[in-house]
Amino acid sequence: MTNETWTIKSALEWTEGYLAEKGDENPRLSAQWLLSEATGLSRMHLFVNYDRPLSEEERALLRDYVRRRGAGEPLQYITGEVTFRHINVKVRPGVLIPRPETEVLVSEVLAALPAPTGREVAWNAEAAAQEREAVAAVKKALEEAGEALAENQRSADEVHSSDDPVGGDFSRPSSSESPSPDEGGLKSAPTEETAPREGATPREGAELQGKSLLVADLCTGTGCIACSLAYEHGDVRVIATDIAPEAVTLAKENIEALGLSDRVAVLECSLGVGIGAKRMGTFDAVVSNPPYVPTAVLADIPREVADFEPTLALDGGADGLDLFRPLAAWAARALKPGGVLACELHEGHMEAARAVAEQAGFADVRIVDDLAGRPRVLVAYLR
């Protein structure tokens, strides 16, 4: 880039052309993402600010981003985040980038679990008093305005009804969580106060214990699977594991950023080795996107994957099932009867994976296609 004035439009055009020469499969989209990251503007706002000049700082950032992308570095590592289902997660070199195909894996687990428990809202004395005051203020205003007696009577009725804690005067839910000893400091399911029983004072209101569903996410990487399950299902608690310390650190950051630290814990270990024996037989689901690319196939994967993403998170051995075999055996011990095992695996070895699962004690084994129509996810239930 020369010292002439560079507008958003000219920067987009130049970047697209440069990346096309470097072999980028979608240079226009890459140019938009990089310029959006450099300027802090959304992709949509780029198009309504075509004539805005880039600052020197923005140009310097863009130069660095274009250089990295031109060398084949994945866009997600450059921008530092990726959208996965309903959440955004941080990504960085050394940890596998989440793929859209893995969203299917999450969908299958959610479909296999019981629906979230319905919870009643809580009776709250302070909110009830505030509501009574608000109703009284409305009544006074109506009286001063000379409203009809019937209107005044209806307001009075509302005031009286809000004095009755059992008569429908409920505030927003309140919850309390008490920690229980567990791997990684994972807390127990929250309890929520419900409306008091008849004749009880507000402090004596009954409690409803929410049903807690325990899930193990092995080889968690960024934590995208664990976070999505907890984010989308209020009864799910997840113990996630990964052998790579950089993945554990990143997963913890994503869990914290999404406000899920009370329901998702992360352990640094291989598969389920670090999960205590007391947890065996208590899991409702075991889910994993383990390394599953057959070693021979690694030679043919795209350069930006082979050169930049960790081989540890990709190489699944000769048939892609080196990790799945011990994983299935561990899941058979960890799951409750009827619990679900769901794994993303290589499309060329799904029938071999089915045999491994059945030998480990699983039944009703299904193979689910990914978004491109390729067999990708194995779902099985413990007998």
292 assigned binding-site residue: yes
307 assigned binding-site residue: no
289 assigned binding-site residue: yes
290 assigned binding-site residue: yes
The helix (H) or strand (E) run that includes residue 84 is strand 81-84
User: Nearest-5° angle of CA 188, CA 189, CA 191?
Assistant: 120
Contacts of 28 by beta carbon, 8 Å cutoff, 6+ apart: 16
**CA 83 to chain CA centroid, nearest Å:** 9
Q: Would you state the structure tokens that stand for residue 155, as one six-digit string?
A: 């307001």
50 assigned binding-site residue: no
Sole residue written with tokens 């070895």: 349
Ranges of H-type helices in the chain: 8-21, 27-39, 43-47, 56-70, 75-79, 101-112, 125-144, 149-162, 224-232, 245-257, 303-306, 324-334, 350-360
Cβ proximity of 46 and 12 under 8 Å: yes
Q: Would you state the structure tokens that stand for residue 95, as one six-digit string?
A: 């940890």
Which residues define the annotated binding site? 242, 289-292
Which residues define the annotated binding site for substrate? 289-292
Which residues define the annotated binding site for S-adenosyl-L-methionine? 242, 289
